[in-house]
A and B are shown apart, each in its own frame.
Chain A
Amino acid sequence: MHNPVSLPPGAQLLLAEAPAQLLPARELMAFTLASHIILVPMGVALPLITLIMHYRGLRRNDPTSLLLARRWSAVMALQFAVGVVTGTVLSFEFGLLWPGLMGRWGDVFGIGFGVEAWAFFLEAVLIAVYLYGWRRLPARTHFLLGLPLPATALLGTFGILAANSWMNTPQGFRLDSTGNPVDVDVWKAIFTPMFGPQFWHFVVAMFMTAGFVVAGVYAVGILRGRWDHYHRIGFAVPFTVAAVLTPVQFVLGDTIARSVFHKQPIKFAAMELVWETDTHVPEYIFGRLHPDGTVTGGIRIPQLDSILAGFRPDTRVTGLTSVPAADRPDPTEATIVHWAFDIMVVIGSLLGLLVLCYAWAVWRRRKRPAAERLPRSRWFYRGAACAGVASVVAVECGWIATEVGRQPWIVYQNMRVAEAVTSTRSATLWTMFGVVVVVYVFIFGSLLAVLLKMRTRWRIEDAAAGTAIPAEGPETETPYGPRAAVPAAAAGQGAREEEDGTP
């Protein structure tokens, strides 16, 4: 395949068509990020949910809660290990796919990644201590050593979101006569206008997702007739965390949409399919944008978009045509952004309904004993079982809306994606893409298989509870797990047999 870009970066702007390597580079980045983001809710939020369960176990002297906390800590470690791997891939891809971005802007927005890397280091150390510490450490010390985990997770999120929000609303620099950034102000580059809204919306989304996913696992168990203490608290604790945060997310979601309206009007226009700048703008629920600005399909609600954006029907909403076609998402991209945004909102609303059902049921039964307070409806648990998957889909959609909505800019209004892309031949990139897809399918497939296997093993252990002492705890099966017993020396080596090193 030909490589049209051996020109200096600026000259690309003059080319009508995008460089051939742009598509594979974007697809590869999209694929690796979309995969990595599935692991993020568990990395950010599972530590806190586990610690809540751990606290409950210590406070009420409840062995079932402690058992659940231990098992969740094993899952936490396994997915963290895979997350480290996919995260490393992403930092390589910044260089392999977008050298232009890092070369010009690395010193302006890179510091967030520095914070993230150290936070990550700390999290790796603390997870190891927490996972290993169950037996020997005094209960209180062990719990206290686990307590900083959620803070390190938030610190990591802070770093990543600082970098991403900077790409959306870049500031903290001045361009010199050659177009290079100078006079960098690190504080301004971290705390950009989109940082606050993005950070809180993302953090709460992570906690909700982790809560719904974990609760969903036990909802399936309940649907299969396992209505015991283990399944009830395994469901109730994470679901309550998610339920408490769901209304908060409604407020935060509304705030971030309004921030986008003010700070990134073109992205907002793509999210809401607004073609011409106007007042009294209708809201489209789904539908498709065509190159001539018409929208087909979907539900049209007159005036609503203006009302949502500024609380009044005469609010003026900027349209896509307010900037040249080369500076905005094309109709297909706008449709993708719009659908991603709408799916996220629809899922959020359905989760809200589910949470209302839960709150109503629990409130109505508040005077009964704890064991009878949970809803009994099978439909509720069917919904709860789907809520985990749905919230992962919502996270993906939110990320698509953020990233595709910024097109064609990699640094909003300062650098196009096409200027940042590597000059490596597109055939090489497609090959790499193929390799990465195969490798990721293998890894995520293995992760899933291992999780399912752990679940089966635990179920068998529970069935045999009290009758036999299991040879291994949940941590044995994880990458951080405790040391297995020393196998006997192989006869061929002539070495003498050793005593088992573990107590």
Chain B
Amino acid sequence: MTTAGIVALVLLLAVAAYACAGGTDYGAGFWDLTAGGAERGKRPRWLIDHAMAPVWEVNNVWLIFVLVIMWTGFPVLFQTVFSSMWLPLALAVVGLVLRGAGFALRKPIKRVAGRRLYGALFAVSSLLTPYFLGAAVGGIASGRVAPGTTASADAWANPTSFFFGLLTVTGTAFLGAVFLSCDAERWNAPDLVGYFRRRALGALAAAALLGVAALFVVPTDSPHLWNGLTQGAGLVLALVAVACTVATAVMLLRGHTRWSRFTATGIVGAAVVAWGVAQRPYLIPTSLSIEQAAGAPSTLVWLLVVTVVAVLLVGPALVLLYWLDTHAELESLSESDLRQGGGTTGSG
């Protein structure tokens, strides 16, 4: 594999990581939106706050990696995507801002009206942002843009984009429900385990229906993508996604929530990687190949070096965060603990 190929793989893995981590996050927002009124939705919303708090920022940063790898590794791709998909990406970024701010600022607000406003912003933008990001990916996958394409509705308002947008929203809702169900088990809220398991199954069914619908849309609308998905590595990955779907469905039906999150991540991860592999050797079928879009060779090498160093630094930090979190080492200290003078002795 060439250096450009490896960087393209890193880019694809970063997209997959964002789809899984960020997707779970957006899904939580989706269920926040559908949780019902202030009283009825109190407990699901509590769980959503609970589960997202330590990781939502980290999940957001994946997107920044995707952008940085794009413009450093494949500048022409970055320019093409942002020129042709102007409107959906602009709407996605407005959604990102409202979502982040809505979530961050909802917590300190105590009055119900205020919480409603911030909560609504958070929830609605959790729906719109993944749709528009998915629609932009659909436009790329169907080969509707090429270097030099100016912004036009055709790039993102077409059958494949519509399908990708819906699939993204469904996928995030599914991931969100699976993870929330596991979190409910971890934090001792059995009623919510079932609550989110039912929703996870519903979302999975919707995603499966969309998968069937793909058979009618993709072959004619995005022939290159279809070819890639029906042979070789693309087919293998697509089958992995299907296998994970079946396994997840079985586990959810039997109530083995704990392990379903791995297969759920497997579905989304395999689907994203399958899409990337199916596009080979193009970044944008069939106008921009990986080699054509690649930046300067020395930059690509350094980009990989930076990535490796970063993985070595960030990996342990992330493990530490999750280890401390799951071992209940991260808890609040009340004001009175401090005033009594023994607050930081670690007696807990």
Binding site for B on A (CB under 8 A): 6, 58, 61, 63, 66-67, 70, 78, 80-82, 84-89, 91-96, 99-100, 102-108, 110-111, 113-118, 120-122, 124-126, 128-129, 132-139, 141-142, 145, 173, 181-186, 422-424, 428, 432, 435-436, 439, 442-443, 446-447, 450, 453-454, 461, 465-466, 469-470, 472-484, 486-487, 489-490, 492-493, 495-496, 498-499, 501-503
Contacts and interface: CB of A to CB of B under 8 A. Distances in A.
B209 interface: no
A107 B188 contact: no
Contacts of A454: 108
Given A121-B61, A128-B321, A446-B101, A487 B42 contact: yes
A124 B57 contact: yes
Contacts of A182: 296
Contact of B40 (A6, A134, A490): A490
A102 B78 CA distance: 7
Interface in B43-72: 43, 46, 49-50, 53-58, 60-61, 63-65, 67-69, 71-72
B196 to A, nearest CB: 12
The 6 closest A-B pairs by CB, nearest first: A107-B295, A495-B191, A103-B79, A95-B82, A110-B72, A132-B330
A473 B298 contact: no
Which of B90, B118, B320 gathers most chain A CB within 10 Å? B90
Contact of A125 (B94, B118, B318): B318
A91 B195 contact: no
- Residue of B63, B75, B109, B307 ringed by the most chain A CB atoms within 10 A: B75
Contacts of A173: 296
Contact of A114 (B68, B75, B90): B68
A208 B113 CA distance: 39
Contacts of B296: 107-108, 173, 181-184
Given A63-B341, A138-B346, A87 B71 contact: no
Nearest to B83: A99
B25 to A, nearest CB: 13
Contacts, number: 333
Q: Is the interface of A mostly helix, strand, loop or mixed?
A: helix
Given A118-B313, A501-B188, A493 B43 contact: yes
Contacts of B1: none
A110 to B, nearest CB: 3
Contacts of B2: none
Given A88-B100, A432-B90, A473-B335, A487 B343 contact: no
B114 to A, nearest CB: 9
Interface in B64-116: 64-65, 67-69, 71-73, 75-76, 78-83, 86-87, 89-90, 92-94, 96-98, 100-101, 103-105, 107-109
Given A89-B96, A136-B329, A78 B75 contact: no
Nearest to A451: B108
Given A84-B61, A439-B97, 12 more contacts: A6-B150, A80-B57, A103-B79, A110-B72, A129-B324, A136-B330, A142-B346, A173-B296, A424-B86, A443-B101, A484-B46, A502-B331
Contacts of B298: 184-186
A278 B239 CA distance: 74
A110 B75 contact: yes
B249 to A, nearest CB: 24
B341 A487 contact: no
A84 B103 CA distance: 12
A136 B61 contact: no
Contacts of B189: 486, 498, 501
29 contacts: A81-B100, A95-B67, A103-B75, A107-B75, A113-B71, A114-B303, A116-B68, A117-B61, A117-B68, A121-B65, A125-B318, A129-B330, A135-B331, A145-B320, A184-B297, A185-B298, A422-B82, A435-B94, A436-B94, A439-B101, A475-B332, A480-B57, A482-B330, A483-B49, A484-B46, A489-B191, A495-B191, A496-B190, A503-B348
Contacts of A181: 296
Given A125-B318, A487-B43, A82 B101 contact: yes
B186 to A, nearest CB: 9
A114 B306 contact: yes
Contacts of B60: 84-85, 88
B82 A134 contact: no
B336 interface: yes
B129 to A, nearest CB: 11
B76 A103 contact: yes
Contacts of A118: 65, 306, 309-310, 313-314
A173 B296 CA distance: 10
B328 interface: yes
A474 B235 CA distance: 52
Contacts of B69: 114
Given A88-B64, A432-B90, A439-B97, A484 B82 contact: no
A302 B39 CA distance: 73
Contacts of B104: 78, 81-82, 85, 479
Contact of A142 (B96, B195, B302, B344): B344
B255 to A, nearest CB: 16
B254 interface: no
Given A184-B298, A443-B97, A134 B61 contact: no
B335 A470 contact: yes
B334 A469 contact: yes
A120 B61 contact: yes
Given A107-B295, A139-B346, A88 B96 contact: yes
A112 to B, nearest CB: 9
Contact of B317 (A70, A125, A139, A439): A125
B57 to A, nearest CB: 4
Given A126-B317, A139-B345, A106 B295 contact: yes
A63 B188 CA distance: 34
Nearest to A443: B101
Given A110-B72, A117-B68, A490 B313 contact: no
Contacts of B303: 111, 114
B61 A466 contact: no
Contact of B335 (A6, A424, A461, A490): A461
B259 interface: no
Contacts of B188: 486, 498-499, 501
Interface in B181-224: 187-192, 195
B151 interface: yes
A124 B61 contact: yes
A107 B63 contact: no
A496 to B, nearest CB: 7
Contacts of B341: 61, 63
A461 B338 CA distance: 13
A96 B67 CA distance: 12
A423 B306 CA distance: 33
